[in-house]
A and B are shown apart, each in its own frame.
Chain A
Amino acid sequence: MRYLDEYRDPELAQSLLDRLRRVATRPWRIMEVCGGQTHTLVRQGIDELLPAGLRMIHGPGCPVCVTPLETLDRAMAVAARPEVTFTSFGDMLRVPGTHTDLLSLRARGADVRVVYSPMDAVRIAVAEPDRQVVFLAVGFETTAPANAMAVLHARRLGLANFSVLVSHVLVPPAMTALLADPDCEVQAFLAAGHVCAVMGWRQYEPIAARWRVPIVVTGFEPLDLLEGVLMAVEQLEEGREEVENQYARAVQRAGNRHAQQVVAEVFRITDRTWRGIGPLPASGLELAPAFVSYDAARRFRVMDVRSAEHPECITGAILTGAREPTDCGAYGVRCTPRTPLGAPMVSAEGTCAAYFAAGRTRAAPAGSPP
């Protein structure tokens, strides 16, 4: 606890805020890419303490939110099969597909189980050889190594009843796509610390150089975020565009090479459609040819599904920072955590859910005290 307390100290937070107010001479717009960081910002009310004019734009980094609708609909189709035990992290259970969600499917009798690690799913496959155990392998670079390890472990064990529904997404192509948009307002990025713990930050250096945008690798505690924002503002004020590392206690430039090797062995880069954003070239991971026998979509023949987003949901504008949740006509009325129309209202890391949990209303837009 002491370790955590050090990164939540109110006096240190105040001194960082004081420094920010001294340093920031102009309005700046900084995007935190990661949903976990959005959650901390909103949960701690940090964005409301920032100097006037310094605006945080919430990025596309909620893995639950950006998982393509097609992947979810495939997941429902697989999970509904009687021979299947479908496993997933808890926060995927409420995400609405075109017609239903995994939690509702479970209530109607499907064998859907929450796991805390993909290895738990492998263990179920070992323990229940008569069941076809499927793991929903989604998320950013953060979760890819563990999912790759699970596939390797299943192969080592010779398991014929384990497969994965893979829909990983990669952060740098999303950042590039945002920057390439002529309407992009982002002037600096806070890069997600845990993604960089795996992948390092070398791949961000060409982005910073080409787009002349400061990128600060940042952790998830309140003081991490305040320090990350301060470092980004200092770069902006000084006209620098570098990749800096606020999260030095966990991240090295080259990242975790072993994890990268495992990912490179099991997955290969592919084009991916991001929910709410659309297709981004080379922005996802799928199983490499040597591992396609572990592909649940092929095994259960659910490659072709027809998916349709709820017409009222403005997920794309939310995930790219173009709109605030409170701009949405359905927010808090027809779209709540209880009845989500789109993914950002589902996961705790979703921008809409974070706003809703913090009691932000359309009458009192972000930036004003609740």
Chain B
Amino acid sequence: MTIQCPTPRHEDERVLLGHGAGGRLTAELLDTLLLPALGVPPGPLEDAAVLPPVGLPVISTDSFVVSPLFFPGGDIGSLAVHGTVNDLAMRGAEPVALAVALIIEEGLPLAQLRSVVESLGKAAAEAEVPVVTGDTKVVGRGAADRLFITTTGVGRRIPALHPSAARARPHDAILLSGPLGLHGTAVLSTREGLGFEADIASDSRPLHRLVRALAPLGGDIHTLRDPTRGGLAATLNEIAAASGTGALIEESAVPVPGPVATACDLLGLDPLQVANEGCLVACVPEARADDVLDAMRGVPEGAAAVRIGRTTAAHPGRVELRTRVGSHRVIDMPLGEQLPRIC
């Protein structure tokens, strides 16, 4: 019987259960792969990170279980940063620090893990937010789908801003910072091999700079929300429910890129219900709408910002769409996963 060292030496090797057992394999995975990729400076690893005083702290946590791990315009690593940075930003906060937990399925190629974590580290660096603590677990084959990431973000509230879904008021203008449907259709197309990948890339990106640009408008920024899962339809319904206002959206004003519209038409999906990761909805007083649009358009993330409708006192809690042909329909909360239709 020969004893073989189980330590991985080749990039074509895979994550083993032992990589999560807390022993030497775990230490090696951290030292050679995870910490360098995340940009964590060398030094003793403590059980928790001490943060400097952050003014009014804001916290958000989110789990990322996207399949596939890699898609046009991003991957699960960059998404795990952008999603949490954006959740902080939607409460008017800038990110201060991130904590990242990885749940890895046994057998994941180390090369894929490295690629994801490097992307996560790069996204964090670009968002100017350090990863200060984390956790790594390995679960048996079949207990997870390759890799799940949970990201917790601590942020600092920008003093002038206090947006909330509940603060939308009747007669606010509803603004949208970018085109709809890119992330959801990019992921679906890649996952299912539908062939739209060449035309559609996810809009995944951090939005805190866009929100920072709105700081001079202060309390006039009533509501900020990023229309992720459930898309614009879910977000507007959440705002309507939380604030007790109604919303009226102009279909002709909603920016849906051509390839997204085509993909949705073919698959029977509603672009209003498709997920986004790089745009936000803002409710602001009608009188300040142009100022807010100018501020949004002054940063790259908001270059395509448009007004898509207004809030209304006429039908509290209900979202309506004025269709292209001039009729009205209710935009309901999406039920669950959208299922492509038969024909």
Contacts and interface: CB of A to CB of B under 8 A. Distances in A.
B343 A116 contact: no
B330 to A, nearest CB: 2
B243 to A, nearest CB: 19
Contacts of A226: 325
A49 B327 contact: yes
B238 to A, nearest CB: 17
Contact of B330 (A2, A46, A222, A358): A358
Interface stretch (B93-101, B145-153, B258-266): B258-266
Contacts of B56: none
Contacts of A360: 330
A8 interface: yes
Contacts of B325: 8, 10, 13-14, 17, 44-46, 49, 222, 226
Contacts of A89: 340-342
B332 A357 contact: yes
Interface string A109-153: 000001010000000000000000000001110110000000000
B325 to A, nearest CB: 4
Contacts of B338: 90
A307 B294 CA distance: 61
A49 B328 CA distance: 10
B46 interface: no
Given A4-B265, A370-B320, A43 B341 contact: no
A63 B340 CA distance: 14
Contacts of B262: 1, 4
B298 interface: no
B27 interface: no
Contact of B343 (A93, A114, A142): A142
Interface residues of A, number: 47
B3 interface: no
A43 B325 CA distance: 11
B268 interface: yes
Nearest to B325: A13
A44 B323 contact: yes
A309 interface: no
Contacts of A359: 318, 320, 329-330, 332
A262 interface: no
B194 interface: yes
B342 to A, nearest CB: 4
Interface string B306-343: 00000000000010100111111110100100111111
A222 B262 CA distance: 15
B252 interface: yes
Contacts of A327: none
Contacts of A370: 320, 328-330
Nearest to A115: B192
B194 to A, nearest CB: 6
A94 interface: yes
B327 A44 contact: yes
Interface in A336-368: 337-338, 347-349, 356-360
Interface string B236-257: 0000000000000000100001
Nearest to B258: A1
B285 to A, nearest CB: 27
A36 interface: yes
Given A89-B342, A348-B268, A338 B335 contact: yes
A302 B327 CA distance: 47
A10 B343 contact: no
In the A-B complex, list the 4 residue pairs whose CB atoms are closest, starting with the nearest: A45-B327, A359-B330, A1-B258, A90-B339
Given A17-B325, A349-B341, 10 more contacts: A2-B258, A8-B325, A10-B326, A14-B326, A93-B339, A222-B323, A348-B268, A358-B330, A359-B320, A360-B330
Interface of B: 192, 194, 252, 257-259, 261-262, 265, 267-268, 318, 320, 323-330, 332, 335, 338-343
21 contacts: A2-B258, A4-B261, A4-B265, A10-B324, A14-B325, A45-B325, A45-B329, A49-B326, A63-B343, A90-B341, A91-B268, A91-B339, A91-B342, A114-B340, A116-B267, A139-B342, A222-B323, A222-B325, A357-B332, A359-B320, A360-B330
